Structure 1
Amino acid sequence: MKRLASVDTQAPKPGFWTRIAHPGLFLGWSGHLVIPLILLTAGLMAWGLYLAFLASPPDYQMGDTVRIMYVHVPTAWLSQFCYAVMFVSAIGTLVWRHPMADVSQKAAAPLGAVFTAIALYTGALWGRPTWGTFWEWDGRMTSTLVLLFIYLGIIALWRAFDDQLKAARFVSVVTLVGAINIPIIKFSVDWWQTLHQPASVFRLDGPTIAPEILLPLLVMSGAFSVLFLTLHLVRMRTEIVKRRIRTLELAAARAAGGAQ
């Protein structure tokens, strides 16, 4: 008798995009990243704070007040990056109906609001000794304040709906419309007269900042970026669990109502 060909009865392993898109699989693999990301954040933050406040020299014009830059610049950068994450997630919600896109949107909004608020506060602290004023209604300051209001409005819109899937569609539209403010923040120093200086790190002709100041700035930017990644991942995991609990509560309520 001929031996029958063996048949692989095991289910195929999920691909990369499936592992990202499926909430249950996402909870599985993302859980292994939380502790390493926390340790990486702590290490980078400790190194960056040492460089920023102990190893780097004061600026020849601004003195020790330049050290505010090591918190202000990374949080200002992340205030816009968070919105970019929401923008991409909004497209994923509206176009591809990606099951994790609205989770990413909702998780990023409070983080973006906090980073924007810190950027505005540290900018005011830095502006008083540097420019002689805590606030000036110039293009970048005003557009960043508008960004904070957009974040707060999006957070309020999420909370206005009990059905989070329905809320995701409304939030996605608002997010896409509000994205017009991001290039305004970026190019405001080129379009209007402003107290802010033009780009000094990412330039075609190279950075214009002294290396002993540039290094701690880059390390602190990396530390805050990994911090955002860590918090965003944790908030996404929390949102998935909350939605599962909500689904179970609704199912239990329907079962109790049907039994009566």
Structure 2
Amino acid sequence: METADTSPGARPLPLSAAPPRAGLHRFANPGRFLQLSGRVLPWLAAAAVLTLGVGLAWGLFLSPPDWQQGETVRILYVHVPMAWLAMGGYAGLAVGSILSLIWRHPLADLACRELSPVGAMATALCLATGSLWGKPMWGTWWVWDARLTSVLVLFFLWLGHAALVRAFDDTERGARMGAILALIGAVNVPIVKFSVDWWNTLHQPASVTRLGAPGLHVDILYPLLVCGLGFSLAFAALVLARTRAAVMERRIRALQLAAARRADIA
């Protein structure tokens, strides 16, 4: 028998016996979410491993060196997908925050809570690999230009959200504060994306998203796109697995609390 989360301050998840609601709320039922995600997660993880294995092998070992960057170009097979995930993941965090604040979607809080550590990890890898690439190409590990600084701000926003949602005993209040921070910080995402166009920076402009005339040769572009897809699938699988674990943890706590209450009554 399923039960709602009755821990202090937590937004209750609906009972599995409750009548389904229309729209996104029909996925708010923890039993339905666990059932659906349990079917999707193994396939998602397998696709991530397969795609990422092909992409990394292709990019790191089979693709040719760049005529300007030489072997250093291989860092981009990790750096560029991490940059995409840092920005795209934060856009997803903003969407989840809207679902939480406006539509009060019960699972949105949990998804956002589990998304922020993964997003912070992707952004940290973006910064680290960017520094590894910058040293041989620019002669320095770090420069305070618009792109690098805005990505660093994005990293602190990820960390701030992860810390804020866990800083309150009242979990609903923490989720609400985290959602507000996420929506305010979303202003930084277009700054990261267009900083190389708006300001004069050392960072090179977009090379992949120029439709019809990408700045990369196909021998480098294609494995980069495969790596991007593989890392995206792995990112989604990790967030989904963390969200499943959070739902199950809440259900276990709720069952334990209900059992303790029954024991007190008896």
Asked whether the two chains share a fold, i.e. TM above 0.5, the reply is yes
Shift of 1:257: 4.9
1:145-187 residue CA offsets vs partner (Å, 9 max, x unmatched): 1111111111111211223222211111111111111111111
Higher relative contact order (CA 8 A, sep 6+): 2
Aligned partner of 2:228 among 215, 221, 229: 221
What letter is aligned with 1:234? A
Is contact 1:23–1:99 with CA below 8 Å preserved after alignment? no
- Residue 204 of structure 1, CA deviation: 3.8
| Partner amino acid, structure 1, of 2:146 | G
Find the counterpart in structure 1 of residue 120 from structure 2: 113
Secondary structure in 2 matching 1:100: helix
Q: Which residue of 1 aligns with 2:174?
A: 167
Where does residue 187 of structure 1 map in the other structure?
Answer: 194
Q: Aligned partners of 1:253, 1:161: CA distance in 2, in Å?
A: 24
- Equivalent positions of 1:1-260 (< 5 A) are 17-258=24-265
Q: More displaced, 203-212 or 13-22? A: 13-22
Task: Give deviations 1:44-83, integer Å, cap 9, x for gaps.
Answer: 1111112101211001111001000000000011011111
Displacement of 1:99 in angstroms is 1.4
Question: Contact (CA 8 Å) 1:94, 1:172: kept in 2 or not?
Answer: yes
Checking the alignment, whether the CA contact within 8 Å between 2:72 and 2:133 is kept in structure 1 is yes
The worse-fitting range, judged by mean Cα deviation, of 57-66 and 191-200 is 191-200
- Name the SS of the counterpart of 2:210 in structure 1: coil
Q: CA deviation at 1:258?
A: 4.9
Q: Aligned partners of 1:258 and 1:153: how far apart in 2?
A: 42
Larger radius of gyration: 1
Output the CA distance in 2 between the equivalents of 1:154 and 1:15: 30
Whether the 8 Å CA contact 2:20–2:26 is kept in 1: the answer is no
When structure 1 is superposed on structure 2, of 53-62 and 123-132 the one drifting more is 53-62
Taking only aligned residues, the RMSD between alpha carbons, in angstroms, comes to 1.9
TM-score, normalised with respect to structure 1 = 0.90
Evaluate the alpha carbon distance shift between residue 135 and residue 76 of structure 1 in structure 2; reply closer, same or farther with a 3 A threshold.
Answer: same
Task: Give structure 2 stretches of 5+ with no counterpart.
Answer: 1-17
Q: Which runs of 5+ in 1 are unaligned?
A: 1-10
In the TM superposition, residue 104 of structure 1 has moved relative to its aligned partner by: 1.4
Q: Distance in 2 between matches of 1:92 and 1:163?
A: 19
State percent identity of aligned pairs: 51
Q: Which amino acid aligns with 1:71?
A: V
| TM-score in terms of structure 2 length | 0.88
Counterparts of 1:246 and 1:237 in 2: how far apart (Å)? 14
Please tell me whether the aligned partners of residues 87 and 179 of structure 1 are also in contact (alpha carbons under 8 angstroms): yes
Q: Could you tell me how far 1:248 is from its partner in structure 2?
A: 2.6
User: Is 1:109–1:155's contact at 8 Å kept on the other side of the alignment?
Assistant: yes
Tell me the distance in 1 between the aligned counterparts of 2:236 and 2:31: 20
Deviations 1:190-225 (A, max 9, x none): 121211111111124431210000001000000000
